[in-house]
Amino acid sequence: MIPVNDRLPLIALAIGLAAFVVMALLAASSDTFAGDLWAARQLQSIESDIFATPLDWTEDLAESPLVMIVAGAAALAFVVARRLDAAALMLGTQVARFAVPLLKEAVERPRPSPELVNVSGAPADFSFPSGHSFSAMLVFGLLFYLVSVHVRPALPRVALQTGCAWVVVATGLERVYVGHHWPSDVLGGFLAGGLFLALFVALHRSHVLRRLSGRAGSDGAAMPALRGGTGGA
């Protein structure tokens, strides 16, 4: 029987799935949600390179090929640290990203119109859910979780988690700021990515992958490379 704490991600997954289905159905029948236009115009009213440039640079981390490099590098670090279950999950995020085009085709929501907001080179595919937001939530959300589990020293742990949180927030803001998505598209991407994230966390907490990979050792052991104490840098 799965302990109560280990069932929480599954409960969140069920609730999130229901919420996403409702949101997708509404997006399929409406080009915008209430508040989308107002929120997008408010964000775009901030005309400052100090604001826009960091968003643009950060958003690149949620886009191919950089997001693939980040996931691959994290997976390699976990392999070196003998955390094969964590490495498998990080690689699995790149497989999960193939769900986004399928969701877009199912919903068929058009991109924001240049007649309503400022649009900078909008892509040709559909708008809901935001693929960048999906990738940011899943890849960097999972990395945030795995770092909290496997990295003991406070300074590197907090630094990595802060960076992951920033990528998620900045990516969502940038997608609306450049006119590629409505805020509801971004929320849909976060929700869809969060569903996969909850599934991956549930897999990790259930230790299924660890048993399959033959990983032995205590659940709370830190990554050897980031444990601290004696040893090489």
Of 213, 4, 215, 6, the residue nearest 92 (C-alpha): 213
Angle in degrees, CA 16, 18, 23, rounded to 5: 90
Provide the pLDDT for residue 231: 36
Angle in degrees, CA 138, 144, 146, rounded to 5: 100
- Measured between alpha carbons, how far is residue 56 from residues 26, 161, 169, 177 in Å? 29, 20, 12, 10
Structural domain including 191 reads: 4-30+49-110+124-216
Does some domain include residue 223?
Answer: no
CB 89 within 8 A of CB 74: no
Query: Which band of pLDDT confidence, cut at 50, 70 and 90, is reported for residue 127?
Result: very high
Query: Which of 30-39, 58-67, 148-157, 215-224 is least confident?
Result: 215-224
pLDDT tens digit sequence for 4-22: 566 776 677 788 899 999 9
Does some domain include residue 63?
Answer: yes
Provide the pLDDT for residue 227: 46
pLDDT tens digit sequence for 162-177: 999 999 999 999 999 9
Does some domain include residue 15?
Answer: yes
Query: Which band of pLDDT confidence, cut at 50, 70 and 90, is reported for residue 225?
Result: very low
Does some domain include residue 155?
Answer: yes
Does some domain include residue 118?
Answer: no
How much is the average pLDDT of 110-120? 93
pLDDT at residue 24 tops 60: yes
Does some domain include residue 177?
Answer: yes
Does some domain include residue 192?
Answer: yes
Provide the domain count of the chain. 1
Does some domain include residue 203?
Answer: yes
Within 10 angstroms of residue 46's Cβ, the number of other Cβ atoms is 11
- Percent of the chain predicted with pLDDT > 90: 71
Which of the two residues, 210 and 225, has the higher pLDDT score?
A: 210
19 CB-contact burial (10 Å; exposed 0-12 / middle 13-18 / buried 19+)? middle
